[in-house]
Amino acid sequence: MKTEEKIICNCCKKVIQYEDYHSRTEYLHVEKEWGYFSNKDGEKQEFDLCESCYDTLVRKFRIPVDSQEITELL
């Protein structure tokens, strides 16, 4: 969830980052435009999750997230 001044986790409401301040906090931003044959046809939805809420969510997956180690970070 983006307000004019900050990014907030949609799940736990934790302030993830202030726009004017470069935070080193990682988070997941998702944007989805729903298409034909869905119950949300023509709707665009977006949300942000802090790393902790992301971890809680993916632990519930019946098929684990595919993960790879990246050795060169920018």
Closest to 48 measured CA to CA, from 14, 24, 72: 14
Residue 46, strand partner residues? 31
Which structural domain range is residue 10 located in? 6-59
Cα dihedral 54→26→11→5 (10° resolution):
-170
pLDDT at position 61 is: 97
In a domain, 72, yes or no: no
pLDDT at position 25 is: 84
In a domain, 25, yes or no: yes
pLDDT at position 4 is: 63
Residues in the chain: 74
In a domain, 14, yes or no: yes
DSSP letter at 20?
T
Closest to 1 measured CA to CA, from 62, 55, 45: 45
46 pLDDT higher than 90: yes
pLDDT tens column, 4-37? 678 999 999 999 987 666 667 899 999 999 998 8
Count of domains for the chain? 1
